[in-house]
Amino acid sequence: MDKQNLSSLIWSTADDVLRGMFKPSEYGRIILPFVVLRRLDCVLEPQKDKAYKLYEKYKKELKDFNQVIQSQLNLPFFNVSKFDLLGIKSDPNNVHKNFNNYIQGFSKNVLNIIENFQIDPLITKLNKNKKLYLLIDKFTEFDLHPDKIDNHMMGSVYEELLRKFSEISNEESGDHFTPRDIVKLLVSLVFGGDKEKLKGEDKIRSVYDPCCGTGGMLTIGKEWIKENVNKKLKVELFGQELNDITYAICKSDFLMSDENPENIKGPLSSLSDDQYPDRKFDYMITNPPFGVSWKSEEDYINQEAKDMKGRFSVGTPRVSDGSLLFLQHLISKMESKTSKIGIVFNGSPLFTGDAGSGESNIRKWILSNDLLETIVQLPDKMFFNTSISTYIWILTNNKSKNRKDKVQLIDGSNLGSPMKKNLGEKSIYINDENIDYLNNIYLDFKEDKNCKIFDNNFFGYTKVTVEQPLIENGTIKKDKKGNTKPDIKKREYEKIPLSEDIDDYYNREVKPFLNNSWIDKSKNKIGYEINFSKYFYKFKKRRTLKEISDEIKLLDLQISKLSTSTINE
């Protein structure tokens, strides 16, 4: 059974129980924790009796029996209740009481996860309506043991359920997870160019995601390294997540996949409550939410921006879009001369903000420090919640010699394949062949129809203010001393590339058309923008007037024939 069929079966099975008692928009908060509980049960079932016996043995001897039981079971988690979901079914008259006993029997690390689901009031409502037993009965029909449903597929099931939940709730499903084809492309770009650095035994590399959602990007990144570079490399995964449900899912998934769940922090914002303030990472991969306001964190971020050593000291973007804050956060966590970042953005961070704005200053800082390596434009309609253009940025503080002071732009906008069935707004995906094609363009670092390479300062410009005097009755108005009156009749602006001399540009492009104008150099501002579509613009030849005229005549003739035919009938 594939991920969509399994997620649909789980959803429809739960719908049979929940319909009429809960709104469909509330289903996710019930279904998702029960999926996690059932999967935990499937893993624990072989040692269920042993766990209960150990608990009975040590509960009076030790205040904290967690470590003893954990070590003897050789599992990172356990449940010492005599009940599991199957056991609760055997006593229909005490379902609510036994369910609570079952929940309290979990080890501390699982209890932390369950608390974030906030299911107590939902369980009470289910029990009151005599539906708790029925829901438990339905979920015990699913075998979610990792031997049957591996972690990769389980992650996809979680994400598919989240997508359904978000669609019905009218929430942003893209805030919770990134389509797997985009993740595969991103990790191949980030890790594919570092194969030599990832080879060898006894090496450890850290990978961090500050908006980790259900953890899919982290686990896929690790899988990619193991499958394509080095099976023996030790890869440590770290993340932080704001949403309580996705945080809980990520931690539970780490528990069952030999990852360290303590490396997942939350549910807290990595911008205003960074849980790794002093930690640096080798690799960072993320898809921060597009165009989301940081108004609720404004005071904290603006305060940190005043600190010259703070993450946001070079500038802050407009409050309506915090995308570039996440990039600044990642840059602050780069290891000295050894780190790489892969981040997914919409078009806003490329060009939003005029010279002197926070966004422009952030771009200036990134390019001036030679951190930006590559940007790849993706096809439209790649995400579940938006059809807008999106981009993958690759940054590093350890560029190869031939990439120094250069930026590579790759146009992959025409490389999407249509999906058999749309998933929300997503109707296009990138197949493995095109992922390889884009990765090869990136590695080859040669210009072609889909690849442009520019010097860093190509994206910089000086915004100059062109002033013109006040003119009355065809003459320049002057003051009593004979000086040109300072009142300005007209003010214009020019963006002059940094590669151009300002005076030469003015004398060539402005002075011949505005003879009495001048540049107020005190108002000059340096700006940076990346006008991606301009660099890959393909000229389309316009039709001639004769071609248009001939087409109109032909249409008139066709209309005339249709009219005559109608009259004759």
Dig out the tokens for 208 from the structure.
């961090």
pLDDT for residue 533: 86
Calpha distance 392→388 (Å, rounded):
13
- Please tell me the predicted confidence (pLDDT) of residue 485: 55
Share of the chain above pLDDT 70, in %: 93
Last residue of a domain, one of 431, 457, 483: 457
Domain shared by 90 and 46, yes or no: yes
pTM, two decimals, is: 0.88
* One domain, residues 423 and 283: yes
Q: What is the pLDDT of residues 282-324, one digit of tens each?
A: 999 999 988 889 999 999 999 999 999 999 999 999 999 999 9
Mean pLDDT value across residues 526-534: 93
Provide the token pair at 40.
Answer: 């935990």
Nearest to 265 by CA among 283, 248, 290, 286: 248
Q: Is residue 502 part of a domain?
A: yes
Mean pLDDT of the chain: 90
Report residue 174's pLDDT band, with 50, 70 and 90 as the boundaries. very low
Same domain, 366 and 449: yes
Q: Report the percent of the chain where pLDDT is more than 90.
A: 67
Q: Does some domain include residue 540?
A: no
Instruction: Name which residue leads in pLDDT, 305 or 477.
Output: 305
Token pair 């499937």 in the structure block, residue: 42
- Say yes or no: 437 and 489 in one domain: no
Identify residue 499 by its one-letter amino acid code.
S
Same domain, 126 and 229: no
Half-sphere exposure of 255 (CA within 13 A, CB side): 27
Q: Which band of pLDDT confidence, cut at 50, 70 and 90, is reported for residue 173?
A: very low
Q: Which residue has the tokens 């025409």?
A: 414
Query: Do 95 and 40 share a structural domain?
Result: yes
Looking at the fold, whether 368 and 416 belong to one and the same domain comes out as yes
**Is residue 473 predicted with pLDDT exceeding 80?**
no
Q: How confident is the model at residue 490 (pLDDT cuts 50, 70, 90)?
A: confident
- Residue 287's domain is classified under what CATH number? 3.40.50.150
Burial class (CB in 10 A: 0-12, 13-18, 19+), 440: exposed
Q: Do 138 and 16 contact (CB within 8 A), yes or no?
A: yes
Question: What is the Cα–Cα distance from 339 to 218, expressed in whole angstroms?
Answer: 16
Q: Which two tokens stand for residue 316?
A: 């802050």
Q: Are residues 193 and 342 in the same domain?
A: yes
pLDDT tens, position by position, 379-435: 999 988 788 889 999 999 999 999 999 999 999 999 999 998 888 788 999 999 999
Distance (Å, whole) CA 21 – CA 166: 19
- Indicate if the pLDDT at residue 87 is higher than 50: yes
Which residues constitute the domain of residue 56? 3-164
> In the structure encoding, which two tokens stand for residue 229, read together?
């570079």
Lowest mean pLDDT across 27-31, 316-320, 331-335, 557-561: 557-561
* CA 476 to chain CA mean position, Å: 56
Is 562 inside any structural domain?
no
- E strand or H helix at 554: helix 545-568
292 and 370 housed in the same domain? yes
Looking at the fold, whether 111 and 205 belong to one and the same domain comes out as no
Nearest alpha-carbon partner for 358 in 404, 403, 313, 295 = 313
Answer whether residue 445 is part of any domain: yes
Query: And the tokens for 63?
Result: 């205040």
406-411 vs 426-429, strand pairing mode: unpaired
- Residues 538-567 have pLDDT tens digits of 766 677 787 788 888 888 887 877 766 655
In a domain, 541, yes or no: no
pLDDT surpassing 70 at residue 568: no
Residue 551 lies in a domain: no
Q: Return the structure tokens found at 418.
A: 């249509």
- Domain assignment of residue 552, yes or no: no
Give the Cα separation of 152 and 14 in Å (integer): 23
* Of 457, 476, 511, the domain-final residue: 457
Same domain, 339 and 269: yes
Number of domains in the chain: 3
Res 166 pLDDT > 80: no
Peptide bond into 486 cis (omega under 30): no
- Among 151-155, 404-408, 509-513, the range scoring the smallest mean pLDDT is 151-155
Same domain for 141 and 48:
yes
pLDDT class of 537 with cuts at 50, 70, 90: confident
* Euclidean distance between CA atoms 246 and 176, whole angstroms: 7
Domain boundary among 138, 164, 190: 164
Residue partners of 512: CB distance under 8 A and separation at least 6:
none
